[in-house]
Amino acid sequence: MSKKIDFVIGMVFAIATIIFILLFITNDAFFNWAFERHHNILSWYIRPLFIIPMVIFAFRKSYTGIFASIFALFTSMFWFPAPAANDPQVIEFLAFEMDYLKGDWTAQKIVISLAVPLFFYMLLTAAWKRNWKWLLGVIIGAAVLKVIWSIVFSGEAGMSILKPALMGLIVCIGGLSYYFIKHKRTDKNSN
């Protein structure tokens, strides 16, 4: 694929992601429908896995791959059916998240929420520049901050994300390590 076509398709996914987020925040029926499905904790486990293709596509400098992965990450919250039963901590934590997203947007909340695009920027920049130490730091830092944020702001219910966050962190580091070790060997063999 040419760089121009890659960029155009990437921007289509970026715009689709922005439209999804705006629809999610402004349309109560869609918001509630998506959160019903987000109660299925499979979506909690799958979301961090999109970091792997995001990083690989940034490494390859593919806008289509990067923004398709980001779009998939955001929309994966409703890929699974609503569960028949839920852990009470999951229900409490998601009620907190729903209130957080639908509540008043104070200056503090805006600043805290800017951590999400900052995370994507730092993650993609580290991968694009092939700075593995920075990349590892961003991934670990994001997981730790997500857990801390969840516990500080939602109390004990925030502990419900601990297992998915740790599993996601382990799989991301393991998957990316495998990819980069394999890629490094391929580069050495082709020289």
| 28-82 pLDDT, tens digit each | 999 999 989 988 888 888 888 899 999 999 999 999 999 999 999 999 989 999 8
- Whether the predicted pLDDT of 119 surpasses 70: yes
Give the count of domains, the chain.
Answer: 1
The rounded distance, in Å, linking the Cα atoms of 41 and 93 is 12
pLDDT over 70 for what percent of the chain?
Answer: 96
Q: Give the pLDDT score at 58.
A: 95
Using pLDDT thresholds of 50, 70 and 90, give the confidence band for residue 186: low
Q: Which two tokens stand for residue 141?
A: 């830092």
Using pLDDT thresholds of 50, 70 and 90, give the confidence band for residue 187: low
Contacts of 88 (CB under 8 A, 6+ apart): none
> Cβ distance 22 to 34 under 8 Å?
no
Q: Say how many C-beta atoms besides its own lie within 10 A of residue 26's C-beta.
A: 9
Q: Which domain holds residue 184?
A: 3-190
Q: Say how many C-beta atoms besides its own lie within 10 A of residue 163's C-beta.
A: 12
DSSP 80: S
